[in-house]
Amino acid sequence: MINLRELKVFRAVMSSGTTVGAARALNLSQPSVSRLLSELESRIMVPLFRREGGRLIPTHDAHLLLEEVERAFESLEVLSDYTGRLSRVVTRPIRLVVSPGLAYRLVPHAIGLFEKDFPKIPIIIDMRTTEAAAEFVANAHADLAVSLLPVNHPGIRVIPLIDVAIVAAMVSSHSLAASQALAPKNLAGHPLILISRRYPARILIDEAFEQAGVAMQVRIESGTSAAACGSAQAGLGVALVNALMANEFGSASLATVPFRPVIRTAFGMLLSRSATPLRATLALVDCLREVALEQAGVSAIAPPAVVAT
């Protein structure tokens, strides 16, 4: 059996980098820390550190173990919070996982709508990647997630939320900001801010430029729409992002113009296949859908031409 005390010591050593620092953080003696660390390595029969000149160098297995240990301690914190609330007769919180880009406007507005009917139910918001969000829901570390699609996980049930068009976002003073629509030919020679190639929409954007015979002048490639919109707002180029994210980070200084050909990005809500969702969770699903439709301005978006799913 895994010893929780040994895991606390391992976590502290990984955080501080030394047994002395871990001992200070845990109010233990340095020999006790060293002994518990050795016992953990013996227990799992895997070397976690290399000892070089009095220094501890974490192995690859140590970094992998740390990810799981952090996840376990997060679950313990949720459990501790829940047990503390029991004495105050408070309903169990809903654990919601979203990408960082959705936590700025969409989620707070949806929670505002939700609390009108469920004012006493707390909500814990966790920000994770699409892959991590699916794992969290499937493993019961979260009740609900909002994520980019597609998500292919055997333990996940996907509820379609919304699909929105890719738009061109730029500082409002940009020479193209007043355009009715922008195609690849209109963006020739302009610095572009693009999302990472790991997203399906990026592949379709590349194909659109290739088919138009226009060479892309990529200035920034970002893993998040938030960074892409922020870069566009700073005047660094034209960002091609989905309309929901452009609205999420929009302001008077950020203009958006429809992109042609129409490319759409799908979002969905993730629930566990093995667990029956709480009534309050399903109510939150409805609130998220209502706010997403409102914020993305779906009624104003042209019928889908290409869907990045």
Assigned token pair, 291: 């706010």
Quick one: pLDDT at residue 281? 92
Assigned token pair, 15: 């955080």
For residue 1, name the pLDDT band (cuts at 50, 70, 90): low
Closest to 269 (Cα-Cα) out of 134, 145, 156, 164: 145
For residue 85, name the pLDDT band (cuts at 50, 70, 90): low
Closest to 63 (Cα-Cα) out of 77, 51, 75, 49: 49
What distance in Å separates the CA atoms of residue 161 and residue 266, rounded to the nearest whole number?
A: 8
For residue 307, name the pLDDT band (cuts at 50, 70, 90): very low
Q: Which residues, at least 6 apart from 172, have a Cβ–Cβ distance to it below 8 Å?
A: 252, 253, 254, 255
For residue 297, name the pLDDT band (cuts at 50, 70, 90): low
For residue 283, name the pLDDT band (cuts at 50, 70, 90): very high
Beta pairing class for 144-148 and 263-272: antiparallel
What distance in Å separates the CA atoms of residue 180 and residue 258, rounded to the nearest whole number?
A: 7
What is the share, in percent, of the chain residues with pLDDT greater than 70?
Answer: 90
Give the distance between the most distant pair of CA atoms in the chain: 70
Whole-model pTM over 0.85: no
What distance in Å separates the CA atoms of residue 265 and residue 70, rounded to the nearest whole number?
A: 32
Q: What is the mean pLDDT of residues 90-105?
A: 80
For the chain, list the domains and their CATH numbers.
Answer: 4-75 (1.10.10.10), 92-309 (3.40.190.290)
pLDDT digits 0-9 by tens, 133-184: 899 999 888 999 998 888 888 999 999 888 889 999 999 999 999 999 999 9
